[in-house]
């Protein structure tokens, strides 16, 4: 057994059986990072000395008869999470020396569960890209093809998992930041229902570490197997102990079904505003075929599906209104003047992003009311279906593109160019209404690059897409290590 590519479940079983120690696993993981990460550059802030100390402490605890969900398991954490004693920069040069005084609530939870934190993984500048590079830590390469991106903003975590640097990782998702890197690197991730996992301590540097109530953003688990996602989510789930945690606890309902043949699944591969590339469509088809062969009821169309054009436009409005909320007043006024010149007939996603940048509070309230209507539409759909299978992004991992003009970048889909941020449309399908979505690999494309799809489930029923992911892993296969 290659411990560096084993699942967390396998490693926990070996630790409990006494077949291996945490010190051994930690030393093996550190040796692999020191050997292989020079070319990938995923673990940007190593914490090896403290990891070894934690591993020794875990072995002593186990010798005393203790057992915790992650006791002795090596893992990584996205750079954007606060860890006391390590810098949290979000890739922003002006914050390269920012050192938080306490751990993020999720870091505290995985440590309390016994995890050994190997270090932090790379992110894009301000977490605002579909790639992971910045002036402080450089570029993270895709383990499958170093000329291509690992994705963003949890790209360092996805690359680390694919390369065998720890069995689990903590990531976050606002615009597909858990799911896109998982798709690009061939691993698993889960975007929880909005609000399921506390997010305090995952905030920009120099921002007060207060309990936030994010509009779209979530934190979630990343792993090399579907079952490992549930293992880590069980540790992460629950409200902030400073707020709702004073009176609320989490009791997620069980998965709707245990057998693949009992699932009712709607499959989508076509978006009205953006084509899906041939490699991605083939991946969706592999999943649909696997579901059908396993006896699931598979449909490709439903009148209950909320309008995808309206959903993507609404998502861009909400996403970009939040991303520009702290712009200087003069910049905001310049944007308002630019938007005023847009044609009322321009209903492109590029126009939606620009309009969202200058949203008023009234605009946001109207958009939020429309979002509630979409949520109700999803409730009606999930009365007839248990999950929706669809792309995460329209392509496999694309070549590095460091053009500083993000709005001027283009994405190539089967030889045709589209605005760079249009590729967020599929990720926004689950993000805008706050639905849970599990990213699963479908196998390499003909070009040898990973392709993933997302399984979107009913709100607050995270165990349903997670269980479907487990069954799919058995049916069509799961993680494959990149060639070395």
- Three-state SS for 391-414 is ECCCCCCCECCCCCCHHHCEEEEC
Among candidates 247, 231, 228, which has minimal Cα distance to 239?
A: 247
Contact 324, 335 (CB under 8 A): yes
Alpha-carbon separation of residue 91 from 42, 79, 88, 131, 167 (angstroms): 13, 8, 8, 12, 24
**Residue 347 exposed, middle or buried by CB count within 10 Å (0-12, 13-18, 19+):** exposed
In this model, does residue 167 exceed pLDDT 70? Answer: yes
Q: Is the pLDDT of residue 90 over 70?
A: yes
Q: Tell me, what's the pLDDT at 84?
A: 98
Of 166 and 336, the one with more pLDDT: 166
Token pair listed for 178 = 């858990």
pLDDT at 328: 84
Location of structure tokens 């903003």: 153
Nearest to 140 by CA among 117, 116, 169, 98: 169
Q: 70: which 2 tokens?
A: 């992650």
Residue 468 pLDDT exceeds 80: yes
DSSP 274: B
Beta bridge partners, 390, equal 454
Retrieve residue 333's tokens.
């006024």
Q: Per residue in 348-405, pLDDT tens? A: 999 999 999 999 999 999 999 999 999 999 999 999 999 999 999 999 999 999 999 9
Residue written as tokens 């079983």? 13
Tallying the residues shown for the chain, one arrives at 484
Reduced to 3 states (helix: H, G, I; strand: E, B; else coil), residue 172 is: strand
pLDDT at 18 over 70: yes
φ and ψ of 418, to 5 deg: -135, 155
In whole angstroms, what is the distance from residue 271 CA to residue 390 CA? 10
d(CA 321, CA 291): 38
Average of per-residue pLDDT across 5-20: 98
pLDDT, position 473:
98
Confidence of residue 461 (pLDDT cuts 50, 70, 90): very high
Question: Tens digits of per-residue pLDDT, 314-357?
Answer: 999 999 998 887 788 888 888 899 899 999 999 999 999 999 99
Q: What CA–CA distance (Å, rounded) separates 266 from 424? A: 20
Known catalytic residues?
A: 78, 153, 177
For residue 210, pLDDT beyond 70: yes
Kindly state the helix (H) or strand (E) to which residue 377 belongs, with its residue range: helix 361-381
Distance, in Å, from the CA atom of 385 to the CA atom of 178, rounded to the nearest integer, reads: 24
Mind listing the pLDDT tens digit for each residue in 39-81?
A: 999 999 999 999 999 999 999 999 999 999 999 999 999 999 9
- Backbone dihedral angles phi then psi of residue 80, each to the nearest 5 degrees: -75, -10
Q: What mean pLDDT do residues 132-140 have? A: 98
Q: What is the mean pLDDT of the chain?
A: 97
Per-residue pLDDT tens digits for 219-260: 999 999 999 999 999 999 999 999 999 999 999 999 999 999
DSSP state of 261: G
- Give the percent of the chain with pLDDT over 90: 94
Is pLDDT at 1 greater than 70 in this prediction?
no
Q: How far apart, in Å, do the first and last CA atoms of the chain sit?
A: 17
User: What confidence tier does 449 reach under pLDDT thresholds 50, 70, 90?
Assistant: very high
Helices (H), 150-204: 155-163, 179-185
Residue identified by tokens 């994405």 is: 411
Give pLDDT tens digits for 393-447: 999 999 999 999 998 999 999 999 999 999 999 999 999 999 999 999 999 999 9
Using pLDDT thresholds of 50, 70 and 90, give the confidence band for residue 92: very high
- Name the strand (E) or helix (H) holding 61: helix 48-63
């Amino acid at each position: 057994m290659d411990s560096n590519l084993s699942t967390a479940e396998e490693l926990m079983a070996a630790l409990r059986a006494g077949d291996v120690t945490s010190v051994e696993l930690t030393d093996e993981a550190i040796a692999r990072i020191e050997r292989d990460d020079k070319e990938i550059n995923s673990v940007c802030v190593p914490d090896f000395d403290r990891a070894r100390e934690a591993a020794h402490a875990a072995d002593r605890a186990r010798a005393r008869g203790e057992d915790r969900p992650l006791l002795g398991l090596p893992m990584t954490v996205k750079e954007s999470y606060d860890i006391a004693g390590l810098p949290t920069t979000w890739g922003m040069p002006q914050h390269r020396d920012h050192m938080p005084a306490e751990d993020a609530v999720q870091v505290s939870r995985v440590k309390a569960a016994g995890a050994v934190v190997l270090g932090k993984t790379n992110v894009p500048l301000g977490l605002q890209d579909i790639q992971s590079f910045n002036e402080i830590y450089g570029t993270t390469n895709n383990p499958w093809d170093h000329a291509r991106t690992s994705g963003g903003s949890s790209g360092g975590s996805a690359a680390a998992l694919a390369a065998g640097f720890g069995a689990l990782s903590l990531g976050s998702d606002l615009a597909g930041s858990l799911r896109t890197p998982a798709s690009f690197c061939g691993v698993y991730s889960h975007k929880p229902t909005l609000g399921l996992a506390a997010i305090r301590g995952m905030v920009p540097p120099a921002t007060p570490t207060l309990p936030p109530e994010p509009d779209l953003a979530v934190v979630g688990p990343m792993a090399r197997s579907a079952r490992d996602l549930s293992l880590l989510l069980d540790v992460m789930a629950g409200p902030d102990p400073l707020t709702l945690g004073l009176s609320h606890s989490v009791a997620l309902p069980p998965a709707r079904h245990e057998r693949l043949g009992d699932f009712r699944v709607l499959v989508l591969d076509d978006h009205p505003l953006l084509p899906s590339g041939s490699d991605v469509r083939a991946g969706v088809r592999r999943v649909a075929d696997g579901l059908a062969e396993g006896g699931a009821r598979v449909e490709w169309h439903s009148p209950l599906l909320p309008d995808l054009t309206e959903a993507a436009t609404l998502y861009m409005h909400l996403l970009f209104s939040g991303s520009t909320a702290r712009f200087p007043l003069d910049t905001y006024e310049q944007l308002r003047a630019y938007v005023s010149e847009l044609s009322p007939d321009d209903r492109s996603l590029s126009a939606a992003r620009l309009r969202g940048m200058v949203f008023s509070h009234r605009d946001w309230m109207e958009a939020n009311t429309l979002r509630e209507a979409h949520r109700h539409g999803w409730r009606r759909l999930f009365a007839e279906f248990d999950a929706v299978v669809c792309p995460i992004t329209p392509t496999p991992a694309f070549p590095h593109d460091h053009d500083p003009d993000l709005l001027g970048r283009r994405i190539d889909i089967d030889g045709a160019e589209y605005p760079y941020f249009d590729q967020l449309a599929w990720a926004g399908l689950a993000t805008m209404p706050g639905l849970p979505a599990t990213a699963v690999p479908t196998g390499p494309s003909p070009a040898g690059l990973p392709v993933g799809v997302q399984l979107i489930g009913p709100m607050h029923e995270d165990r349903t897409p997670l269980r479907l992911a487990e069954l799919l892993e058995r049916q069509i296969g799961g993680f494959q290590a990149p060639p070395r």
